[in-house]
Structure 1
Amino acid sequence: MNHGLRRGTQHLTKQCCKRLFSHSPTKRYASDIVKKEWSTPLAKILADAIRTTGPISIAAYMRQVLTNPDAGYYTTPSSQSKTEVFGKKGDFITSPEITQIFGELVGIWTVTEWMAQGMPKEGVELIEVGPGKGTLMDDILRTLRNFKTFSKSIENIYLVEASAPLREVQKNLLCGPDAVLEEIDIGYRGINKHTGAPIVWVEDIRLLPYNDKMPFIFAHEFFDALPIHAFECIQPTESEEKQQPKQIMTPTGPLDLDHTNQRNTKNRPTGPQWRELMVALNSKSVVENIKDEPEFQLSRAKISTPNSLLLPEISERYKALKSQPGSVIEVSPESRIYVADFARRIGGYAPPSEPRLPKRKPGEVAKQVSPGDIPTAPIQKKHPSGAALILDYGTTSTVPINSLRGIRQHATTSPFAYPGQVDVSADVDFTSLAEAALEASEGVEVHGPVDQAEFLHSLGIAERAEQLLSKLPADKEEKRKMLQTAWKRLVDKGPNGMGKLYKALVIVPENGGRRRPVGFGGGVVG
């Protein structure tokens, strides 16, 4: 359930998708496809494209259904609520919308990390990617104004948001309904009503300057909606092996493939290969016109695609599963690119003169650099500083599989139904995020993920709830029940709660393991 739009940094995935089926026969659909009424305008657009060029990657599908400028879920008004996609009137509700306590505790956490890093009186920047309605940032800033020294140290607040309607909602909440945004070279600027600090809206995080400031970066339910690719491991037949491309196009140009080491003397494949799972038309819907059948479905590519040849090689975790036919993995290269950007803003980055293996890596992960994935110039920081807090749902030590889902009117539905009117998301691979952060900068370390329940309890969610309850008059019993239900839902580890499903992961400056952050088994001083 991500609230950010036009997920930037699509270097690898965009280039690969351009030639997705340049070496495979284009699948043509029958000319007598029913003249059906498509579920959404975007469904017809996608169907026409697939009929012309063949199945598309899951990543391409997600990018269109979520951020298509004319019919995407986040870029156009929800068909359900007309003006909202978040909250009780929308399709889903997030932690900040459930209770103000969530954002208050994130604000408190930010103060503790600022204290642990020397309490600088200037140079602090707050960055949120995918800010939704602005509720989380509003609660954070409302909390931070109570810490005068900290609030005065905030030089800029950045919101990465490309949706004009959402930007207007955020402006009304954070600056006031009568505020007028100033258009600047990188986006728009306003003044926060709580702290008086400038707020700058940008469409892409790459528009923000790299500097020696202290950035505090928040990504709440952001990574779960970044596009994914899915792959299944198979043992190819001889005929399939003969269809393998001899060359693929990469962002840096054509790459010749050598298949000789994959064959034995009888010219038969000797090992499993990855095949990409693609989004294709569902004949039950578009040909047979069966009611309530989604118009799209997954299908496995018959031969290797550029994505299947490149993306499963970026981590040893994926490589280890290649020897097991039937294995399925989900990979989000854009997630790795985003978290690498976070790490470099915190820890800096000095590109090596020659490719080298990182000194620190989780699970003995080999260094893999995707073209366009790293800046061309060093990111200088005198001292690593700041932190990135990631709160989302996903897996801890395992690779996500079969996690693509749709949410509509607070209920789970097919991600291939009503494209553009259903929120589509997938589990976050937290280990992959940690790998990418550590590979991106020698100046950071990663802690977590920990269960959201553990994180919030360590920050005093029960105590804050009791404090708020004590201020409610005795005759406000309904409000008391709502508050009790809300905060307990955030930490409930049962099947209907969010305490175990949601995780927290943090990127902080490298300190040799001397201090773990608050919420991750440590404190301000250790």
Structure 2
Amino acid sequence: MPNGTTADSPSAAHIIADKIDREGPIALGDYMAIANNHYYASKDPLGEEGDFVTAPEISQMFGEIVGIWLVDLWLRKGSPSRCHYIELGPGRGTLASDALRSMAKFGCHPTVHFVETSPVLKAKQAELHPDAIWHDNIADLPDDGPLLIVANEFFDALPIEQFVSTANGWRRHLVARDRSKFIAVPSEETVEERIGSTTSGFPEGTILERSPVSVEMTGSLSNCIAKQGGTLLIIDYGYARPGTGSTLQAVKDHMPLSPFDSPGTSDLTAHVDFHTLANIARTRMLAVHGPAEQGQWLKSLGIDQRAETL
């Protein structure tokens, strides 16, 4: 998650270059974390004037349907009087506003908690949700009631690691400097122990991705849900089954560019490994549903009928 920056703060490119000069090539996950921390802390990336648009900013129906889905689960569990709406990376707070409005129509009024550290986006969220409670991370989420957790296009921005198959074994992708440019290079040492025992037989040049940060976060959230009750709704693009190849990408001004160009000025993302995240939840004895295509999910919850009403 991003930390606050000021106009006098060094650029992400400068921070990364300095780190490489001092330590040698750095892990791809470290590169991605530094770049995205700086990016989200320094600007509002949403909308036509930003770099990308998310579904909640296009239509109120998206957030309303999320709210209907959450309140249905709340009703099925007997309408507990104490529950908490948690959103990870809530953008401008638009989705929460639309979802909470739908939930209120059924008598569900949860406390509102946002996991966000960008001062720019916090200010936007506070305009819509002055009574919200902000958290820098998930460690201090409320522990006195069910958690209704929403993560819309959040997990895709968490750091990943990449591993490439070579003639001498699996190696970790690192980020190095080539004069003024950043480039991906394989590590000198092999790292078979980092990626498990099911990686034999892949042709040379195959890339596998892992996101230890996503795994740790999903485990922690699953523990909370197993103890307190609740749900975690992840809306993102990614794998239904583990895949191969690099999915790391960058977008700036609504256009794709190399992830290694101007870090900290573009949004770096990678596909979410839903298969692995689901298995983590299952180890906590939680029920898992999906993944389902977003359009199919929205239609099953009545977005067509809502569009006709509007």
Query: Superposed, which structure 2 residues align to 1:72-83 within 5 Å?
Result: 72-77=38-43
Q: Which residue of 2 is the match for residue 161 of structure 1? A: 116
The reply on whether 1:312 has 2:205 as its aligned counterpart is no
Give the conservation status (yes or no) of the 8 Å contact 1:95–1:102.
Answer: yes
Query: Could you tell me the TM-score, scaled by structure 1's length?
Result: 0.56
Are residues 173 and 345 of structure 1, via their aligned partners in 2, closer, same or farther at CA, if it must alter by over 3 Å? same
Give the conservation status (yes or no) of the 8 Å contact 1:60–1:227.
Answer: yes
Give the conservation status (yes or no) of the 8 Å contact 2:88–2:151.
Answer: yes
Matched to 2:256, the amino acid is T
Q: Which residue of 2 is the match for residue 206 of structure 1? A: 139
Q: Secondary structure at the match of 1:438?
A: helix
Query: Superposed, which structure 2 residues align to 1:125-204 within 5 Å?
Result: 125-148=84-107, 150-151=108-109, 154=110, 156-175=111-130, 191=131, 199-204=132-137
Higher helix share: 2
Give the conservation status (yes or no) of the 8 Å contact 1:234–1:274.
Answer: yes
Are residues 5 and 51 of structure 1, via their aligned partners in 2, closer, same or farther at CA, if it must alter by over 3 Å? closer
**What is the CA-CA distance between 1:310 and the residue it aligns to?**
4.6
Separation of aligned partners in 2, 1:128 and 1:42:
26
Give the conservation status (yes or no) of the 8 Å contact 2:153–2:235.
Answer: yes
1:56 to 16, 26, 31: 26
Separation of aligned partners in 1, 2:194 and 2:306:
45
**Structure 1 residue ranges (4+ consecutive) displaced by more than 2 angstroms after TM superposition:** 308-311, 321-327, 398-401
Q: Secondary structure at the match of 2:259?
A: coil
The reply on whether 1:338 has 2:214 as its aligned counterpart is no
Query: Superposed, which structure 2 residues align to 1:492-511 within 5 Å?
Result: none
**What is the CA-CA distance between 1:398 and the residue it aligns to?**
2.6
Are residues 334 and 278 of structure 1, via their aligned partners in 2, closer, same or farther at CA, if it must alter by over 3 Å? same
Larger radius of gyration between Structure 1 and Structure 2: 1
Listed one character per residue, the Cα deviations across residues 140-190 of structure 1 (whole Å, up to 9, x for unaligned) are 112222122x22xx2x21110111221111001222xxxxxxxxxxxxxxx
Q: Which residue of 1 is the match for residue 153 of structure 2? A: 221
Matched to 2:98, the amino acid is D
**What is the CA-CA distance between 1:311 and the residue it aligns to?**
3.3
Matched to 1:300, the amino acid is P
Separation of aligned partners in 2, 1:165 and 1:402:
31
**What is the CA-CA distance between 1:44 and the residue it aligns to?**
2.8
Q: Secondary structure at the match of 2:237?
A: strand
The size of the alignment, in residue pairs, is 303
Listed one character per residue, the Cα deviations across residues 417-465 of structure 1 (whole Å, up to 9, x for unaligned) are 11111110101110011122222x12x1111101001100001111111
RMSD of aligned C-alpha atoms? 1.7
Q: Note the residue ranges of structure 1 that are not aligned, 5 or more in a row.
A: 7-39, 78-83, 176-190, 192-198, 237-272, 287-294, 314-318, 349-380, 469-526
1:113 to 70, 73, 76: 73
Q: Which residue of 2 is the match for residue 278 of structure 1? A: 174
Q: Which residue of 2 is the match for residue 483 of structure 1? A: none
The reply on whether 1:451 has 2:290 as its aligned counterpart is no
Give the conservation status (yes or no) of the 8 Å contact 1:400–1:428.
Answer: no
Give the conservation status (yes or no) of the 8 Å contact 1:407–1:413.
Answer: yes
Query: Could you tell me the TM-score, scaled by structure 2's length?
Result: 0.93
Matched to 1:219, the amino acid is A
Q: Secondary structure at the match of 1:447?
A: coil
Q: Secondary structure at the match of 2:41?
A: coil
Separation of aligned partners in 2, 1:431 and 1:5:
27
Separation of aligned partners in 1, 2:260 and 2:75:
47
Q: Secondary structure at the match of 2:189?
A: coil
2:255 to 411, 433, 449: 411
Q: Which residue of 1 is the match for residue 6 of structure 2? A: none
Give the conservation status (yes or no) of the 8 Å contact 2:84–2:142.
Answer: no
Separation of aligned partners in 2, 1:131 and 1:398:
27
Matched to 1:338, the amino acid is M
Give the conservation status (yes or no) of the 8 Å contact 2:67–2:103.
Answer: yes
Separation of aligned partners in 2, 1:302 and 1:325:
19
Q: Secondary structure at the match of 1:90?
A: coil
1:437 to 281, 285, 293: 281
2:185 to 288, 299, 311: 299
Q: Which residue of 2 is the match for residue 465 of structure 1? A: 307
